[in-house]
Every structure is written in structure tokens, then in C-alpha cells.
Amino acid sequence: MATDLEALALTKAKEWLEGNYDAETKDRINYLITNDRKELTESFYKDLEFGTGGLRGIMGAGTNRMNIYTVGMATQGLSNYLKKCFKGQQIRVAIGHDSRNNSRKFAEWVADIFAGNGFRVYLFDALRPTPELSFAIRELECHSGVMVTASHNPKEYNGYKAYWSDGSQVTAPHDMNIIAEVEKIKSVDQILSGKNKENITLLDEAFDRKYLDRILSLSLSGDAVRKFHDMKIVYTPLHGAGVRLVPASLKNFGFTNVSTVREQDILDGNFPTVESPNPEERTTMRMAIEQGIREKAELVLATDPDSDRIGIAVPDPKGEFILLNGNQTCVLLTYYLCRRWQETGRLDGHQYIIKTIVTSTMIDKVADSFGVRHFDCLTGFKYIASVIRNFEGTREQYIGGGEESFGYLAGSFVRDKDGVSACSLAAEAAAWAKSIGLTLYELLKQMYVDLGFYKEGLVSVVRKGIEGSAEIAQMMVDFRANPPKELCGAKVITIKDYLSQQTLDVESGKTTPIEIEKSNVLQFITFDGTIVSVRPSGTEPKIKFYFGVCEPLPSVDKFDEVDGQLDRKIEQMKKDLNLI
């Protein structure tokens, strides 16, 4: 098989050498043919897949790489679909990008192609957060949009997120229909470009102000902010787009004592101060936390390169900073919003929150405690946006929602996770907690006493390249054929297979349907409520294992003891699944 793939890759590479491609690209291909056949195969053995959310891949020459040709062909396919959907209309699109290498180049190329297709194009004049692109689509009544970003992926990657008219990443049926149109583009010669430059309008700081003012409308505790406006906050954009708007939003809310990590304010797609620009990792947050310790900060905040994800670190009683995981962030923000909605008289039984199926079930407990409805959806904010869309035109009000992978969204004027608004609300929540005599960390512990101590873990198994993709697929096949019977000594009583859309009661053998879209996800649930979810990543060469456990917490002073018990339980399950 490897030989067949090598031969296929070589054939496709030679087609590029004979085609309408630039000299630099051809030089690179000739180099790979002569010097690195393995890399040549990886670069050409398949076409970079335009998936249900767009493109994401390593940058370089080849059909399986992010470059102006793969980006251009994807954009032409999207353009053709838009022309089918909106016949006779002046199609409007918005385009944004982050700080990654080649992001501006790709964004300007996308704008050129959309203009070449006769569209009205709104292009941000420089990098911006992904959520502002989502906001722009709705605010400017666009039919579609594109964000050039690979989110928190390593520096070698870039990507291309396609959005629909509601500001959400595309969902069914548009996702598959766009893919079909993209697959019809067989040659770069089919790309329309170089015309109608006058159709491109640049969006500048005046548009930023509209977005920041809408974020300010989410504020629920102005009095607490005014009282503790000088609460010390440290923020890092991790060399990304957040530097443009997160400090400005915090200032807009009224916070006056915010410092940034200057070395990481520098826009640089190589992310020189971190191994990975992912706020989920403590090593990535190291410089910000160290500055927080030096400056005696009460809150440390971070966003990833396109500023849709948020990282939060808070001091414990010893002054050591605890990096909250995405589940804890989601729980805290949901609790804060629900409680303040209740205290300000806004709850009337017509409110709801949303989380993904791999996110902590503690969020359901929070919602129940305030009489707020809660919904589960597949992993990805486009599914959260889809639930919001389904309630448009009804009395039901969306409060907030999120996912374990450090994404949160309050309000519905954006339809993607929003690190800018999440940072401002996290700071406001800290000020509010301070007004009732608690830190955010103390508030979280008290919630564990009241609702149960829920703890989560995550293992990502990385398998790169052709062999890795096959290995990940086989792992899912094996789990379906031989699911675990016990986890940490507890019997597995329920298996949920979101691909077959069936829930199996292990004891009786009976199945019931799952009323959520199909997805390659498995969940194993034990009699004591432990949940293990398994899913291949849709954007990275990984298979992910999510662990969720819970025990009662009798009192705050028992926190360390119960925390240790839960850690040991998660570690044992990793062993049970041969992950360590």
C-alpha cells in the first residue's frame, strides 16, 4: 500500500510541475522528489480534505498541504455554492485572520477570489479574533465568511474556517454541499481572481468598537467592578490576535489594573516563547503565571492565537496559581451568569444553557439548581450555535454555553466561542466573587460542596501521518468490537455510540435511539456515574479520551483528600484502557 501511495504522490507532484504553479512551489517539489520521498508522499498522497468546518493542515507545497492553491480551490468551491444558494442576490462575505505565518497572505487571496466572483467583501485591515469575524457576519448581514486560522495548533499549521449567514461555522446540509462543490474544483485554472478589487472594503477600529460595546452589554455586575476596578489582572495573548481587543474589552468593563506579558504581546506566527500556543497547557501559561506571582495578581488570563479559547489561572490560599481546566471555566462562568441573572430578576423559566457531550455534567447540575434548561450537543461550537439557531423567534433565551476545550460563549450576537467576552466576564466574575468575600477558587470549591465534586481528565494519543490515521480508525473499530466491561472496578452499564446513534443498556441488551447527529464518538458509563468518552479529533492527528468522575465533598477542608481520590480513579482508568 505504501508503494501505491508513493506512486500516486509522485504522479500528482509531476502534475503540479507541469501545471500553472509558481516557481518557488516547483522548486520545492523538485527538491522533495530528489531528497525526501517520505515528505513528498505525505504532501501529495491525498488532497487536503475540506471537512465539515473547512481546511486545516501543515503549510507547504502539495495537495495535502495548506498553500495558496489548496486555499484558492476551496474558496472557489465555496463561491460556487454561495452563487447556487443566493441566486440573483449581491452576495456579501467577511474575512478575518490571526497571527499565524501566511495568514494575511491567505486572507487577502481569499478576498481576491471572492471579489473575482463578484461578491461584496469585508476584509479586516489586520488580524482579529475569530469571534469578531462571527460577529461581523451577523452585523453586516453577510451570507458567509472565512477565518484563516489553525486555532491553537502548532506553528507548522494553518487553517480555513467557513461560516454561514448566522455567524456559525457551516453545518448540515451546507457543510456536505460545500464539500461537494470544492471537490468539483480540479484545477487552479478554475479559480476566478484578479478582478473587482473595488468590491473589497476594509474593516478598521470603528468596527472593533461595535463589537466591544456588544460585549459590554453582557455585563451583570457593574457595581462590583467599580468597587474592585483596580483588582490586579495579568493577560497574555500568546503572540496572537487577542492583544488587539482583550485589554481594550477589560478597560471597557472598567478594569484599570491590567498588565500584559510584553514578550508575548509581539505578533509572531512562530510563537517563540511557547512550545505550543495552547492555554490548556501549564507550560504555555508559565510566563503569565510567573508575572502573576510577581505582581500579586488575583487573576491570570490567556487567549490562543485567534482568541476564541480562554485560559484562566487563579491563586490558591498559598499564593500558588491553579490553572483551571476548560470544564472548571465552563462551570464557573455558567454559575456566575445564572446566579446574576437570578439576582437581577431575569430568570423566568425561559432560559437555557448548552454544553457538548464530552463536557462536565456538573454544568447540568448548575443549570438545574437555577431552574434553567440545559442541552447537550456534539463537540464543536457550530453545534452549540445550531441549538441557539433552533430557538430563534421563540421566548427562550440563551444565557451561555461551552465546551471542555477552553471555549465559552455568553450571549448570542456571536455564534462561536469567544475568548474576548469570556475574559471580560471571568474578570467580572472575580470582582463579583470578591464582593461576597470569595476568590474564584474558593467559589469553585464551595460549588463542589453544594453540587458534588466533579473532576475530569483528558488523554490525547497522537498518531501522525498515513499510518497514524489508519491506527486511530482501527482503535475506534476495536473499542466498538470489544468495549471495556469495567472501569476502575465499576461495571460499565451503558454504552453510547453516536455513530450508530444508539444507547445500549449492557445488562438487558436493549437499545434506545440517540437524538443527536451522527458522530464518531463512544461513551462508556459505569454504575457509579463515571463517564469515559472516546473520539478522534476532527482537526488534529489525535484520538482523545475524556474522563469524568464525581464524589461528594463533605466540606471545603476535605477538598485535598477527595481531590486525591478522584485523581487516583482517573489514573486507574487510564491503566484499564492501556493508555499509560
Cell 483528600 identifies what position? Answer: 561
Residue 286: how many other CB atoms lie within 10 Å: 14
SS3 358: coil
Neighbouring CB atoms inside 10 A of 368's CB total 12
Strand partners, 373: 352
The span from the CA of 268 to the CA of 238, in Å, is: 9
| Cα–Cα distance for residue pair 6/523, rounded to 1 Å | 37
Q: Which of 220, 225, 264 is nearest to 242 (CA)?
A: 264
Beta bridge partner(s), residue 460: 544
Start-to-end CA distance of the chain, whole Å, equals 31
Our answer to whether residue 151 is catalytic in this structure is yes
What are the CA-CA distances from residue 338 to residues 219, 363, 472 (Å)?
A: 13, 11, 39
Q: Do the Cβ atoms of 149 and 306 come closer than 8 Å?
A: yes
Cα–Cα distance between 397 and 377 in angstroms, integer?
17
How far apart CA 124 and CA 215 sit, in angstroms, is: 19
**Size (the chain), residues:** 580
DSSP state letters, 321-372? EEE--HHHHHHHHHHHHHHHHHHTT--SS-EEEEEETTS-THHHHHHHHTT-
Q: Catalytic residue, from 99, 134, 144, 151: name it.
A: 151
Please identify which residue in the block is written with the cell numbers 483528558. Answer: 458
Sign of the CA dihedral with 274 first, then 276, 278, and 281 last:
negative
Q: Say if strands 157-164 and 200-203 run parallel, antiparallel, or are unpaired.
A: unpaired
Residues 6+ apart with CB under 8 A from 125: 202, 203, 204
**Residue 35 CB-half CA count within 13 A:** 6
Residue 213 neighbours by CB distance under 10 Å:
11
Q: What gap in Å lies between CA 552 and CA 532, rounded to an integer?
A: 19
Asked if residues 497 and 504 have their Cβ atoms less than 8 Å apart, the reply is yes
CB 358 within 8 A of CB 533: yes
Q: What Å distances lie between residue 462 and 218, 280, 541, CA to CA? A: 38, 16, 6
* Backbone angles phi and psi of 145, in degrees to 5: -165, 165
Give catalytic residues, as residue numbers. Answer: 151
